[in-house]
Amino acid sequence: MVRRHELTDESWAVIEPLLAPPQMGRPARDRRQVVNGNLWKLSTGAAWRDLPERYGPWKTVYERFRRCSADGTWARLLAHVQQHSDAVGAVDWTVVCVDSTTVRAHQHAAGARKGEPGRARRSAKSRGGLTTKIHLACDGQGRPLAFTLTAGNVNDCNQFEQVMARIRIERCGPGRPRTRPELVAADKGYSSTKIRTYLRRRGIKAAIPERIDQINGRIWRGESRCRLNRAAYRRRNVVERCFNRLKHNKALATRYDCEDVRVPLQAVA
């Protein structure tokens, strides 16, 4: 019986080849059971010690989770699922929607160690306390394609090029990875000359409305306004729905553990 937070047989068949048990050593615990335990924890936001017994010892599930985090297994799984979805034509490249959302840290959440090499701070103080911001790009069907993490006070437009540069889906056969959609839809927070020039240079259309100060500046200079493809812009709500689905996982909606929410996001995306 497949429970609410667990993988279906179809989903497990896609990722099982990347989770093959080792050839040497003691027999490994059922990999699907461990992954389901990780998903249960991320979905409920409960403490590791509260893990149901059907998933095995909580310490084993936790150690596997941290090991997969350290060796990049979650990132490879996400890339593999994206590749599989693109191969069957499930990824909609007609439009990519970009936006951001904040993740509020719990009062007991840990932060980055001071002076730790290679570890950038991904939280900042605001009215709501410590927050982390997720900058996300999804396809026209609301499937996550790429993301970056910053402190909660970082401006959205400063991360636009970094998010777009991370869109890279390998092909199953020969050919270059897919990196470029036909059109990008984003809100007024991404309206800047730099972003529009970046998209134009890559041959990507933009559906980004101008801010009122930019419109007034164009009128004052006697320039024409940027045309907005309203039909394409109305599709921007898919990124909001994507955030809504991702934040059904309580460990992602609120940060309970360490400062880096990249691993939970990779695991549930």
> Rounded to a whole number, what is the distance in angstroms from the first to the last CA of the chain?
23
Task: Tell me: pLDDT of 236 over 90.
Answer: yes
- What is the rounded average pLDDT for all residues in the chain? 84
Identify the domain containing residue 100 by its residue range. 92-257
36 & 165 share domain: no
Number of domains in the chain: 2
67 & 141 share domain: no
168 & 62 share domain: no
In a domain, 79, yes or no: no
Higher pLDDT residue, 128 or 63? 63
In a domain, 141, yes or no: yes
- 19 φ/ψ sector (left φ>0, alpha ψ -120 to 50, else beta): alpha
59 & 99 share domain: no
| pLDDT of amino acid 220 | 85
38 & 133 share domain: no
Phi, psi torsion values for 64, nearest 5 degrees? -65, -40
Q: Using CB atoms within 10 A of its CB, is residue 113 exposed (0-12), middle (13-18) or buried (19+)? A: exposed
In a domain, 134, yes or no: yes
Which tens digits make up the pLDDT trace of 88-101? 999 999 999 999 99
Q: Do the bridges between strand 144-151 and strand 205-207 make them parallel or antiparallel, or are there none, so unpaired?
A: unpaired
In a domain, 36, yes or no: yes
Q: Which of 260, 205, 209, 247 is nearest to 42 (CA)?
A: 247
| pLDDT of amino acid 119 | 46
Residue pair 133/105 in contact by the 8 Å Cβ criterion: no
Which tens digits make up the pLDDT trace of 152-206? 888 899 999 999 999 999 998 888 999 999 999 999 999 998 999 999 999 999 9
Task: Tell me: pLDDT of 9 over 80.
Answer: yes
